[in-house]
Structure 1
């Protein structure tokens, strides 16, 4: 997995590509946990370039969502059809705040 981080106003935008699986999950969790602590507390994860998410990746997303909420922030996840299908299979689309675009995700954060 590769990615970039950008800070905008009161939000961190992460654009990720590759696989979010058992192999990449420990690094994903370690890096994002660090940024939750540093702030800003609102996160947009752009997973539109992610090719595959397995159960380890879903677990990491759920833990990240809980950590961001506990820190007083919000998490918006931009997906593609493949990621959306995986998340819907386990009925987490509402909890993980799936969005169709980065622009919509950023607007949702501004509205809160």
Structure 2
């Protein structure tokens, strides 16, 4: 599989640490898996994409879908980025919407206390 990762729950948020490729091949499984976790809660999501090697338009699309899904569930989505992911996100001007953060620790500081 082109995408692999771990899942952890800390306080009122879920942390996913992902590595590999977030592309058209991995997008359906990513959407289904992360979507189920958002549905089951906690609703605040941190996606650590610092070890992601590549994101294509399908990957960006699913990140936008997950951000909207978290917002609709009264949660939040924050993304830990790397230079490659940041460049791709900025290219399509989604850096504000996707709440890019420099580290998991910084993202945890921004998680609302429910």
Shorter-chain-normalised TM-score: which range? over 0.9
| Local SS of the residue matching 2:47 | strand
Q: 1:98 to 1:14 in 2, by over 3 A?
A: same
- Residue 91 of structure 1 is matched in structure 2 by 93
1:103 to 102, 105, 112: 105
TM-score by length of 1: 0.98
The superposition leaves residues 19-44 of structure 1 with CA deviations (integer Å, 9 ceiling, x where unpaired) of 00000000000001100110000000
**1:58 counterpart = 2:60:** yes
CA distance in 2, matches of 1:110, 1:4: 22
- Residue 82 of structure 1 is matched in structure 2 by 84
| Local SS of the residue matching 1:109 | coil
Higher helix share: 1
CA distance in 2, matches of 1:110, 1:15: 20
Please list, as runs of the form range in 1=range in 2, the aligned pairs for 1:17-96 lying within 5 A after superposition.
Answer: 17-96=19-98
The superposition leaves residues 36-57 of structure 1 with CA deviations (integer Å, 9 ceiling, x where unpaired) of 1100000000000000000000
| Local SS of the residue matching 1:96 | coil
The 4+ residue runs of structure 1 with deviation greater than 3 A are: none
Unaligned runs of 5+ in 2: none
Q: CA deviation at 1:110?
A: 4.5
State the number of aligned residues. 112
Unaligned runs of 5+ in 1: none
CA-based RMSD: 1.0
